[in-house]
Amino acid sequence: MLINSETKVLVQGLGKDGSFKAQKAIEYGTNIVACVHPNKKGQLFENKIPYFETAKEAVKKTGANVGVIYVPAPFAMDAIIEQVDANLELIVCITEGIPVHDMIKVKNYMKDKNSRLIGPNCPGIISPKLKIKIGIIPGNICKDGDVGLVSRSGTLTYEAIAQIGEAGFGQSLCIGIGGDPIHGTSFIDALSYFEQDKNTKSIVLIGEIGGTKEQQAAEYIKTHISKPIVFTIAGTTAPKGKRMGHAGAVISGKMGLASEKIKALKEAGAYHSDDPSKIGDTLKNIF
């Protein structure tokens, strides 16, 4: 997912929450080299990290290659496009509540670009081995290991990380792809990465009701994934037509049902944890 020992992070959107999360990322070990805020050019964050007026200027002066966005929803589309134009390799957008039509514009704009987007409305990514945390996943619950985690749900990402640790395993990389209807990195993108990653021996996938992303992942698993996968689907008791938490977690047709997703993934050979609290136990049982 384009993070390694050479990763240099740019932070855009340093309000109260963004500043707190940036501080936590620095404490974890993340190499944050630049901050972007149009009204703070020339100032320093934490008395050492320079502010720049634009992402392009920050990249030119610091060599930043990854960006994280905490910009409020009305301005997040422009921030993503600005970071794409700055040629950042990876962009992680944490912002929740970005209008769907804004994300349609972003997806169309990024079609021929080299940047990869994770999010929006996601907890980001974390590598316990590299001590790199881009987003809001708590670093204290992670430990180095060989289980790759990909999730639509932020809260269940943290729950799964804790359970993986309690089961005696650790994480190679955790990726929160976000729960919005339109986002950048997909389950398939993450699965492809984990299949190629020599440090990942097994995979945990957390899906939700709504859409067909899990069914698409199931089809991909059948022909492209050789590593064992444990999965759970949140929202098994959700009523039809009622949004459950995320903007994308709403059943609008048969394919959006948890039962349909579970069926598809089981047919693809993945191991089902029928209770989100048993992810760690299910993982332990297959080894």
pLDDT averaged over the chain? 93
Q: Which residues contact 27 (CB under 8 A, 6 or more apart)?
A: 139
pLDDT at 14 over 70: yes
Distance CA 53, CA 55 (A): 7
206's tokens: 């957390």
pLDDT tens, position by position, 190-245: 999 999 999 999 999 999 988 889 999 999 999 999 999 999 998 765 555 555 55
pLDDT at 252 over 80: no
CA angle in degrees (0–180, nearest 5) for 93-99-100: 95
DSSP string, 3-56: -STT--EEEE--SHHHHHHHHHHHHHT--EEEEE-TT-TT-EETTTEEEESSHH
The secondary structure element, H or E, covering residue 200 is: none
Long-range contacts of 48-55 (CB under 8 A, 24+ apart): 54/82, 54/86, 55/10, 55/12, 55/79, 55/82, 55/83, 55/85, 55/86, 55/88
The secondary structure element, H or E, covering residue 121 is: none
Nearest alpha carbon to residue 37 among 27, 50, 46, 23:
50
Please report which confidence band the pLDDT of residue 256 belongs to, taking 50, 70 and 90 as the band edges.
confident
Please report which confidence band the pLDDT of residue 166 belongs to, taking 50, 70 and 90 as the band edges.
very high
Q: Is 246 assigned a catalytic role?
A: yes
Catalytic residue, candidates 37, 183, 246, 272:
246
CA distances to 75, 122, 160, 175 from 103, rounded to whole Å, are 12, 14, 28, 20
Distance CA 5, CA 8 (A): 9
What's phi and psi for 83, nearest 5 deg?
A: -70, -35
Distance CA 230, CA 206 (A): 9
pLDDT at 137 over 90: yes
Domains and CATH numbers, the chain: 9-118 (3.40.50.720), 137-285 (3.40.50.261)
